Structure 1
Amino acid sequence: MSQHGSRQLIASIIHLHGNTTVALLFCSRNAGFSKNMIHTLRASRVSDREGEVQDRLIRNCVQPQHSDAESASVCDLLLRHCRSTSEHDIQTSERSDGPARIPMSHFAVWQALRCSCLQGKKRTFETLCALGVDVQAADVAAQQQQKGSLVHAAAVGGSQSIIQRLLDDYHLSPEGLTTNSNHNEPVHLAAAHGRTHALLQLINRGVSIDTRDRHGRTPLFHAAVNGHLSTVKALTESGARIQVTDYDGISLIEEVTRRARIRDGLGRQALAEYLQHMLQQRKEEDGACS
């Protein structure tokens, strides 16, 4: 769509709803409109509530349907725009003794950073860091909201680069916060989502390959019950225990055998057979050693 068409669409949305909120949220989900949206807003009269609108926009600016490059571009444009308008408002307020517009909160930017970790968007993460986002404060805020640490989020997203930055540059723990509401460590989330390389990265940084969650389930347990055969193979080849039972008395082999009947295209029967074969092989090796 042309710039003129984008402006017309944004103007129509604003006219229908009486404010910029819907237009902003619409454009945050459509990366191609973002630059034109900002030019339109700069030329329009700003309401007293746009600080609140900007908060909502930033919270939602990293969307799964956007590519990493698109999300990074949207974040860069929006944060620079919000920063410049905030500085302008402060200067205007000082000259007129009038109230400054509500500034964009840090929590909104922290949410965008967390989303970049969850979605594994390296470029977006780097863009937000380059713009001065306080990564350690964002990590504390996420934990206080019972969302787990940023390392938990990055484990879901699976970006090794983001995980490395969080551990090396911002000194976050590879174990995350063990007192979070579910007591899952990042390795459990990486295993459950089949993020093999991120999982092995965390294990290589000192996390036990057989660490248990609050239900007594190990990373191998999580990978197996979620049907991630390649992750299961990587863990078993790295020495993960197969003969393990959770706190409800359910063994890993029992659970994967029960789930082998599920037809979801994940090859659960092959996964169950693989674990049974590996367990038998280890028993034979142990018998030969004794």
Structure 2
Amino acid sequence: MRASQALVESAGVERMEYLSLRGELLAVVLRTDALEASRELLSAAETSVEAAKTAAAAGAATKLDVGLLELEAAGQRAEVAEAEVERVRAAHAVAERIGMSLPDAAAVHSPGVPPLPDAPPGLEELRRLAIEQHPRLAKLRAEYIVAERELRLEMAKRYPDLSVGLGFSDEVENQKLGLPLGIEIPLYDRNQPGIARAYARRCQLRQEFESLVIEIYGRIEASRARVVGAGRHLRAVEAQRLPAEEVQRLAKQMRDEAGGLDMLRFLEVFRATRRVRSQTVQARIEAYEAWAELEDAAGSPLLLFDNAP
């Protein structure tokens, strides 16, 4: 009995570590994407500064134009530095999880970010997954089964001629939240020392299990609502993003209309692009973090990584 319980607990720890590692690897990939996006914007800002300096030398721009673009480049440089810190922090979490140095952990191949589903599973499906697969529930269930068997042993000691059995095959239909209902103990037997201890232990574990189910259901509901909200926000942000080709076309149009480079209009376009790009990256991170939180709440993987176990 104890060996089976230990095996279930070991599997539960492994699953919790696996879910945590999934979330941390996902954070590394997302923070890397955010860093690359920040670097692309920095490169564009630095290129615009050089173009402005060239235009100023030719009399087509002012020092104020150059100074404004340099301020934008400096702000973007600070964002790159912040993104680098976030990337290192995410990689450090993975290094701690797998027991490797930071450089070695950074070299570990991580799967690409899986596509986000259109919508999360329904509440009933998530609750079913939690009952079947949540490691914390599996641990308590194993403890409960051990307590039930110990109670039956105590009953067998008191009534040697009574066959109570140690299995639960006949109780498959009498399940509540994944727990066997167990045998009923007569009131006059509940004061017997051995039976009383075993009975109290079984009751305690049942209450703990049911309380944990309520807690998990609450987390699932809150996490699912966050997934829905984060997905809606991400779609709204992505809808306002202009393709790179469209941005280039608008920039060319501005130059053609003005007969030269209009620095203030260029600055306005660059700021809008920077703002939308930053919003998109952050909304994407929040959407995936919401899914990782929902996986943790349900105790089961939900996003499909390539070649993931």
Give the TM-score normalised by structure 1.
0.18
Give the TM-score normalised by structure 2.
0.18
Where is the helix percentage greater, Structure 1 or Structure 2?
2
- Whose Rg is larger? 2
